[in-house]
Amino acid sequence: LSATPETPKEDGRPKWDNKFQYILSCIGFAVGLGNVWRFPYLCQIHGGGAFLIPYFIALVFEGIPLLHLELALGQCLRKGSIGAWNTISPYLGGIGVGSWMVSILVSLFYNTVLTWVMWYFINSFQEPLPWSVCPLNENRTGFNEECYESTAVNYFWYRKTLNITPDIAESGTFQWWLILCLAACWAIVYLCTIRGIETTGKAIYVTAIFPYLVLTIFLIQGLTLPGATEGLIYLFTPKLNTLKNPRVWLDAATQIFFSLSLAFGGLIAFASYNPEKNDCEKDAVTVAIVNSMTSLYASIPVFSVLGFKATTAYWDCLDRNIIHIINEFDLPEESIMRQNYTSWISFLNSSYPEKIAGLKLKSCDLQEFLDQSVSGTGLAFIVFTQAIILMPGSQAWAILFFIMLFSLGLSSMFGNIEGVFTPLLELQILPKSAPKELLSGIICLISFLIALCFTLGSGSYWIDIFDRYAASVPLLVIAFFEVIGVVYIYKIKRFSEDVEWMTGRKLSLFWQITWRFISPLLLLIVFMAFVTLQMQKPPSYTAWNPKYEGFPMKEEKVYPPWVQAICVLLAALPCVCVPLVALFHLVKQKRRSKEPSLVPPEVSFCQGANS
Amino acid sequence: YAWDANEEYLFKAMVAFAMRRYSSKSTTQISNVLLCNVTDRVSFWFVVTDSSKNVTTVPGSEVEAAIRMNRNRINNAFLLSDKTLQFLKITSTLSPPVEPSTPVWLIVFGVVLCLIVAGIVFLIVSGIQKHKKKKESTERENLEEKVEVTLENGIPCEALDLKAGHINGVFAADDDRFTSL
């Protein structure tokens, strides 16, 4: 009994239903919340259209080569991250373990962000929206003080949602509503990843395509709002002299790197379910370009809405000033309009300067309102929610917006969970008879229990820490070792033959140059610059403290030493796996008194052999 | 609408009405309400006199209380709101927002959670069923393989069985050649 050579190897490995599912999964993984709330912010603060120049340079020389490398690696070795690196060389197994750890850490905090999105979603079914009005205080004479001094939107976010403590050292209590939403989110993740790619492959059709529909709807709606054009002009006007600031180039490189979700191990896992003869080069270019185009496409509605919000705030400021002037001078109603406000002001200032000065009018400047740039959770939960209140039919817009954010985040979660699930499946933690559903259930349950820490009062401070330290430096380090490992240890000659065998055409010179020199060099520079910038000042955070004098400004505080130690631990733990595992194997080989051979034998792991 | 003498008359009437309701005296007349300093902004001062007590003005706190009690009616008479018809020194008591007995978000959350749990149960049950079916089919496959193996050994078993029952004609036919004892 022997299988004929033409039949594909029946190794029982699950595979994608079709190529489209695979591409969609990779795109869904890459396109996440960062495309909506980080890229437009970076575009705005780094000179608008001019930012696209370093962005595309980083895309071509750093993003696409690294993406191609990961996809080719996964497809060739047909294993998850830990298995793949162990196959190349046991000394490099630490890279896989590092990726796996980062995937776990990121899954934990990313799903908590989705918890917040879900909380806002289920609160969007009320009329009026709960973040549009301030609650009354105890004796019903006025509004709640904290809410009155900041805004209703801020109050709902910091008090009603997070119930935030004024300091990271104060943990506060568990917020039961967040625990409920967290349980629901992990249940949804379990539902979609229950059988690995068999189930995520079906779910991805919805979660990856739906955000584009909603973005288009928001685009059309956003462009019809007043003030949208101001926002767009502000966003896209290129200010070329910002390119002289090296910070811009660093931000472009890091944005591309983190946006493509490299070094998580999830892409390797996705590619490992591919048939061997698949054009990974075209896939990589497709995914990277779609990701960048999505960022650009998303920034248009975001900035239309931000322009609308700035214009509305500007008009409100003008109106308030007008009411004060009319009340003071007893002028008839509608004598001063927004259009002739400036001429009236100059006339009144020249005739009655003391009265005008006594009114203490706030200067209303549209540019100032446009300059208030926010990124991250602030953009979604504070700025955007405020803009949604001003739109007609706000419930529908809120529901659409939060479902879109949820799908964006969920499709990225699939990639993260796959990066955790596939290596564990291959390591055969559970006996072979145990169903896959049990392993995914265990992963989701344990993650839920650990993520309960983020539902404490100080939870959002911890999420910031995880975001800044666990999901930044280790990824750069792991990606650097990935490139070095493949190019110099597995040897680029062997790898290019493998890629040729898979894609069916010769590896072009572009990939050779970028893989060998440009990408590792860029990664090294970015890593050094990143670490230097972080070390320049002691790590600090901004806390929401109602008792602070400058309230509603956030209070700048420094992390206590024990928190700083945790930050360092989070950043160092995945990185340190790489040398630790290599050392472990070195000691093992020395003990067996064999010659420690770093270079594995000259046989390709792709072509033909599936040992 | 423009503010003219008729509106002023209505205003006086509303204030008189408010005073009557508040103090339950029916003595306040429209002529007791005096407006002064009317400006184009449509802002003015007003006082309420008490005709029974020799043309003295009613204390401001009483007027304030009366207006506060009937604010809603006064607003509606002019089709205005607390924001557009402002009485200086009279802050409006805010109405509490309508709170349903169960918060709406809990209801939505319950719906979402039920859907998720139903989905998970469905997938797990279908997974168990698939697992059982696969086990049955692999057992059947194993039996079939055994049957095949016996066939593929070159000589079919049935043929062997048949041959075992045959008498070897060579030896049987030569019974006469053997020497009989």
Range of the domain at A581: 19-593
User: Under a CB-based contact definition with an 8 Å cutoff, are residues A415 and A88 in contact?
Assistant: no
Q: What is the rounded CA–CA span in Å between residue A273 and residue A257?
A: 24
Q: What is the token pair recorded at A175? A: 């917020």
Q: Is the dihedral of CA A265, A270, A275, A280 positive or negative?
A: negative
Q: Please report the ipTM that was assigned to this predicted complex.
A: 0.79
In a domain, A584, yes or no: yes
- C-alpha closest to that of A568 among A525, A524, A531: A531
Give the DSSP letter of residue B60: H
Q: B-chain residues within 8 Å CB-CB of A143?
A: 94
Give B95 to chain A, closest Cα distance, Å. Answer: 8
The fraction of chain B above a pLDDT of 90, given in percent, is: 9
Asked if residue A8 has pLDDT above 50, the reply is no
**Number of domains, chain A:** 1
Residue the block writes with tokens 């070897």: B168
The helix-helix angle for A394-427 and A93-122 (nearest 10°) equals 150
In a domain, A11, yes or no: no
Beta-carbon contacts below 8 Å between A and B: 70
Q: What is the token pair recorded at A4? A: 């004929």
- C-alpha closest to that of A419 among A79, A197, A196, A100: A100
Asked if residue B138 has pLDDT above 50, the reply is yes
pLDDT in tens, A159-218: 999 999 988 888 889 999 999 999 999 999 999 999 888 899 999 999 999 999 999 999
In a domain, A602, yes or no: no
Q: What is the token pair recorded at A229? A: 């054009």
Of A122, A180, A191, the CB nearest to B120: A191
Q: What is the rounded CA–CA span in Å between residue B157 and residue B150?
A: 7
Of A125, A143, A437, the CB nearest to B127: A437
Within an 8 Å CB–CB cutoff, is residue A163 touching chain B? no
In a domain, A3, yes or no: no
Q: B-chain residues within 8 Å CB-CB of A137?
A: none
Which residue of chain A comes nearest to B104, CA vs CA?
A126
In this structure, what CATH number is given to the domain that contains residue A112?
1.20.1740.10
pLDDT in tens, A344-354: 888 888 887 78
How does residue A375 score in pLDDT terms, banded at 50, 70 and 90? confident
| Helices of type H across A382-491 | 385-390, 394-427, 436-451, 459-465, 473-484
**pTM to 2 decimal places:** 0.84
In a domain, A399, yes or no: yes
Of B108, B109, B123, the CB nearest to A194: B123
Q: What is the token pair recorded at A301? A: 């509605």
Residue A549 pLDDT: 80
pLDDT in tens, A507-562: 889 999 999 999 999 999 999 988 888 888 788 888 888 888 877 788 888 999 99
| Pairing outcome for strands A540-543 and A555-558 | antiparallel
Upstream peptide bond of A8 is cis (omega within 30 degrees of 0): no
Asked if A188's CB is within 8 angstroms of B116's CB, the reply is yes
Long-range contacts of A333-337 (CB under 8 A, 24+ apart): A333/B41, A333/B42
